[in-house]
Structure 1
């Protein structure tokens, strides 16, 4: 994580230099604002990774002599048969189409998003997967 934090912080410094140069040269508000927001996001992620790297053990990515196989193993648990991301994608697509075609479309998209989000959060608390 240390290396990843350094990469993001270095990228944040680069974007900051580009944002200042672009702002002084182009005098255009939208692009300058977007570049400064990109700087903030990179700095935020870089700080989080650097801060977290101090509290956790160093991984294979921090060892310059590590092999690819050193980082192998279980990554985590992923739901093998979840339909909830599809409902969230449909609800999100309807919401973005609501911005284009009319805000009235949000009346149909928000319930789809809420149902999909509720289902995704609680999908392992019902049915055969329910803990007793």
Structure 2
């Protein structure tokens, strides 16, 4: 993950250098704010990847003598499919419509959303994909 960390951090450095230049040339507060927020996002993501890279033992991709065979084996758990994200998005759409139409619909959307998020969290505790 060292390569990913430095790639993201170098993007953050680039945006940090470009943001003041953009402000001086255009005096546009919206674009400057977007560039500053992009810088902060890159720094946050780079910090996260750096912390995770310290917790994971050396990957074959991070070593100069790494071979393809060194990365063989189980890479992690990848879910086969899930309908819960679709239902969570639909509940979020009801919440957004509730802000426009009325608070009663927003409350209904939040209630449905809470049930859907619980279903998404606990989907691998029961059913055909339980483990």
User: TM-score range with shorter-chain normalisation?
Assistant: 0.7 to 0.9
Deviation at 1:125, TM superposition (A): 3.0
| Count of matched residue positions in the alignment of Structure 1 and Structure 2 | 130
Cα deviation code 1:84-123 (max 9, x no counterpart): 1111121223334455x44534233222221110101122
Cα deviation code 1:4-35 (max 9, x no counterpart): 11111101000111211112221121221111
User: Which segments of 5 or more consecutive residues in structure 2 lack a partner in the other structure?
Assistant: none
Asked if 1:85 is matched to 2:85, the reply is yes
Distance 2:60 2:49 in 1: 15
What RMSD in Å do the two structures reach over aligned CA positions?
2.6
Q: After TM superposition, where is structure 1 displaced by more than 4 Å over at least 4 residues in a row?
A: 64-70, 127-131
Larger RCO: 1 or 2 (CA < 8 Å, sep 6+): 1
**TM-score of the two chains, using structure 1 as the length reference:** 0.78
**TM-score of the two chains, using structure 2 as the length reference:** 0.78
Checking the alignment, whether the CA contact within 8 Å between 1:5 and 1:50 is kept in structure 2 is yes
